[in-house]
Structure 1
Amino acid sequence: MSGTPLGPAVLASRTGVRLEVSAARHPHEQLPCWRVRLTGAGLDAVLDCPESPWQAQSLAEFFASLDHDWRGWTGARSWTSDDGELQVTARHDKPNTVLLDVLLAGGAPPRWSCAAELEVDPGVFRSVAASLVALGTSSPGP
């Protein structure tokens, strides 16, 4: 890697919506913080989303668990950042397709929010999880 910044982890939906996750500076902790960008037709939202010490899983672990169960699971699986800036919910209701509901919510009052559904192949989660591990270990501290 020789000191060059790592590129973002990218989930590209079959419908043209993209979720890009790159490293950002965590405001208070030695935990990863993510700069999340959600784009699509008429959509471009960016927000910094810190990991939380109270979460049972990191974002990388969440995507690794989706990869582990790539054949499918029952119900929805969710991950939320420290103050709910990023919420990701995954459902494996269709053959060979995972539906990811992504919600970004930010700003001081008045708050704003942006939501999109991504339709992705279950095979993408291994590389996304690995990218997030690499980005998280290279993430600048406070």
Structure 2
Amino acid sequence: MLQTRIGSDQDFLQLTADAAEDGPPQFLLAELQLRGLSASVRVVHSYVTGFADLTEFFQRLADDWRGWDGARTWESLESDLKIDASHQHGHVQLRVTIQRFQPDWGNEGWTATGDLTIEPGEQLSRIAQEIKALATGS
């Protein structure tokens, strides 16, 4: 089972690949843990690109570790996981939103949003490498 943890020991987004026998995963389990909040959702891959766009998103952040203007956003195929990244005060700020849609009898489901801070150098590079491994199943 491949997984990566983004954030700190107490506040993090953990992504875990499904136990596919070989090749890239069909989905990722996204778990957002913050002090006082725990939420998870199953994120389905794109049938065309898998999770290549997520890999590219984090690699681009790592490549631009010195900073960028504005926010960069990645969103999953079914909008159940969204990550907004900005470079502020020498750190990378991630706003993570996970949501579960349950359109049934007026119930729209739930949404959980939290902010994570990561270091732009080694920590961000490690995360980019781990997500690449998750996305390719290797």
The answer on whether the counterparts of 1:67 and 1:122 sit within 8 Å (CA) in structure 2 is: yes
SS in 1 for 2:93: strand
Structure 1 residues 25 and 83: CA distance shift in structure 2, 3 A: farther
- Name the counterpart of 2:73: 78
Deviation digits for residues 13-34 of structure 1 (CA, Å, limit 9, x no counterpart): 48x31110111379xxx76521
Gaps spanning 5+ residues in structure 1: where?
none
Q: 3-state DSSP class of the match of 2:56? A: helix
| Larger mean Cα displacement after TM superposition, 107-116 or 85-94 | 107-116
Number of equivalent positions:
129
One-letter amino acid matched to 1:137: T
Q: Which deviates further from its counterpart, 82-91 or 126-135?
A: 126-135
The corresponding residue for 1:102 is 96
Q: CA separation in 2, counterparts of 1:134 and 1:50?
A: 17
- Residues 1:60 and 2:55 aligned together: yes
Q: Please report how far the alpha carbon of residue 137 of structure 1 lies from its aligned counterpart in structure 2 after TM superposition.
A: 2.1
Alpha carbons 2:25, 2:137 under 8 Å: kept:
no
Given the alignment of the two structures, is residue 18 of structure 1 paired with residue 12 of structure 2, yes or no? yes
Moved segments of 4+, more than 6 Å: none
Task: Quote the residue 1:36 is aligned against.
Answer: 30
Instruction: Tell me if structure 1 keeps the 8 A contact 2:18–2:25.
Output: no
TM-score, length-normalised on structure 2? 0.81
C-alpha RMSD over aligned residues:
2.5
**Aligned partner of 1:129: which letter?**
A
Determine the C-alpha separation between the residues in 2 that align with 1:99 and 1:127. 16
Query: 1:51 touches 1:58 (CA, 8 Å); kept in 2?
Result: no
Alpha-carbon separation, structure 1, partners of 2:89 and 2:38: 27
TM-score when normalising by structure 1:
0.79
Gaps of 5+ in 2: none
Contact 1:25 1:33 in 2 (8 A): no
> Partners in 2 of 1:25 and 1:81 — Cα distance?
20
